[in-house]
Structure 1
Amino acid sequence: MSQQFVFWRTSEHLDARAVYEALMEGEPVVGLDLLDLDAAEQALIGVLPDWTVEARRADGGEQTMLFSPDQRASIDAGYSPESVTVSCSWMSEEQYNLVIQAMATLHLPLYDPQIDERFDSVPI
């Protein structure tokens, strides 16, 4: 089972579904903040310290790939200047929440496309 989570920051009131669709098409979205993608990658890696890092932006790649110790669960994170998209496979709800909290510490609220909901205020 997999889930996709998308994180971006804005001070404007934007239609979350329209933002998501534009980001998935690779289109720029006016009103989104530019992100510190290195910090986002470090937060993802740091929240799951026992996971194996298979790929990382810091090494010149375009994505971050992590695998659980048993190699069953995984994260594939992609980046644009304004967003972080995290695809999670075979993870527990607790692990999903770790990812969401890691992004929340960077003030990057969650958009969950599975339920078409943006969570603008997430406790840190």
Structure 2
Amino acid sequence: MYELLFWKYEEGVYLNHHEVYEALDDNEAVEGLELLQVDVIVNRINSVFSKWERVDDNSWKNNEGPGAFCVKTTPNSVKIECYGTAGSTMDKLVDVLDEYKCPLYDPQVPQRYDEMYEG
């Protein structure tokens, strides 16, 4: 499994990214994160991956090749668990969240890719 995690800081808030990830992973509330339109984001993911089989409300499976992913949301975050998913598919997921100004935090690296939103 490969995890992708997305959240948005409130204006002027800067926290330790890995500590935010760990708190979100434990389903803890984190002060300083913006509320996200999670239903809108999940609907957008569904439309981008309309050719994939929607296994349930939060899971998609590629019937034309390898890969599946599960979307888990809190009011402040979107976590996507990828199973055998191609890099190009993960890039598409990152692009969808980018539309909502939610940069990727990659806990495997660990690194947050929010440079494009600063300045």
The aligned amino acid for 2:71 is A
Distance 1:120 1:51, change over 3 A: same
The match for 2:42 is 41
1:50 aligns to what?
A: 51
- Which range moved further: 5-14 or 66-75? 66-75
1:59-92, Cα deviation, whole Å (9 max, x unpaired): xxxxx10000237310111011100000011111
TM-score normalized by structure 2?
0.90
In 2, distance between residues paired with 1:65 and 1:122? 29
User: For 2:60, what is the secondary structure of its paired residue?
Assistant: strand
**Are residue 4 (structure 1) and residue 3 (structure 2) matched?**
yes
Indicate the residue corresponding to 1:87 in structure 2. 81
Moved more, 38-47 or 75-84: 38-47
- 1 CA distance for matches of 2:114 and 2:28? 22
Is 1:22 the counterpart of 2:16? The answer is: no
Taking structure 1 as the reference length, the TM-score comes to: 0.87
Taking structure 1 as reference, are residues 6 and 67 closer, same or farther at Cα in structure 2, changes over 3 Å only? same
Pairwise CA distance, 1:34:
0.8
Residue in 2 that maps onto 1:59 = none
With 67-76 and 90-99 compared, the bigger mean Cα shift is at 67-76
Distance 1:85 1:120, change over 3 A: same
Q: Partners in 1 of 2:115 and 2:39 — Cα distance?
A: 23
Report the alpha carbon displacement of residue 112 of structure 1 after superposing the two structures with TM.
0.2
- For structure 2, the residue ranges without an aligned partner over 5 or more in a row are none
**Any conservation in 2 of the 1:104–1:122 contact (CA below 8 Å)?**
no
Tell me the distance in 2 between the aligned counterparts of 1:43 and 1:121: 24
Which structure 1 residue ranges, 5 or more long, are not aligned? 57-63
Identity of aligned residues (%): 25
